[in-house]
Amino acid sequence: MAGRAPAAGKRKRPRTVLATGVFDILHPGHLYYLAEARKLGDRLVVVVARDETAMRLKRQPVVPEHLRLEMVCGLKPVDEAVLGDRDDFYRVVETIKPDIIAIGHDQRHDPEKIRSELEKRGLKAEVVRLPCLKHDLMATRRIIERILEAFGRPPASEQALEELDE
């Protein structure tokens, strides 16, 4: 017996992709990351890190969270953007229920740890690390270094610059 076709008007649930980041000083690398993440599904939801999360994991953001959220919301690949949870990243994942979690090529997230935590919580999402853009990404650290040089200030140490990188 052949399978039945879906009833007219019944549509399959769109594939939701979740992407995360600080998005402090928006640059071409961010846009590339979000455009590539969007290609993985029908809908892209972006979680923008809270100020205190960014400080805990990286540094004090230059741009406050409410403005970073507004900027990310205005980007073409983004269907929705939300602020992250202050204490538990996976609470947002539980709410959004993505089909795919896209990790940027340079993000320090461990895909295996994410998969393990998803499994513990009964969440099902594919975890995908995206490829690197083949040219200078204009990473946040490089932008800050150029700004410092433009104003005649010595560039920060390489270690400090790496901490700024997104």
Alpha-carbon gap, residue 31 to 33, rounded angstroms = 5
What pLDDT, on the 0 to 100 scale, is given for residue 7? 53
The secondary structure of residue 99, as a DSSP letter, is S
What pLDDT, on the 0 to 100 scale, is given for residue 136? 55
Query: Which H helix or E strand runs over 164?
Result: helix 158-164
- Which carries the bigger pLDDT value, residue 20 or residue 158? 20
Cβ-Cβ contacts under 8 Å for 42 (sequence gap 6 or more): 14, 15, 16
Tell me the per-residue pLDDT of 14-70, one tens digit each, with 9 for 90 and over: 999 999 999 998 888 899 999 999 999 999 999 999 999 988 877 788 899 999 999
pLDDT of 124 strictly over 60: yes
Domain boundaries, the chain: 16-132
Q: Which CATH entry fits the domain spanning 16-132: 3.40.309.10, 3.40.50.2300, 3.40.50.620, 3.30.950.10?
A: 3.40.50.620
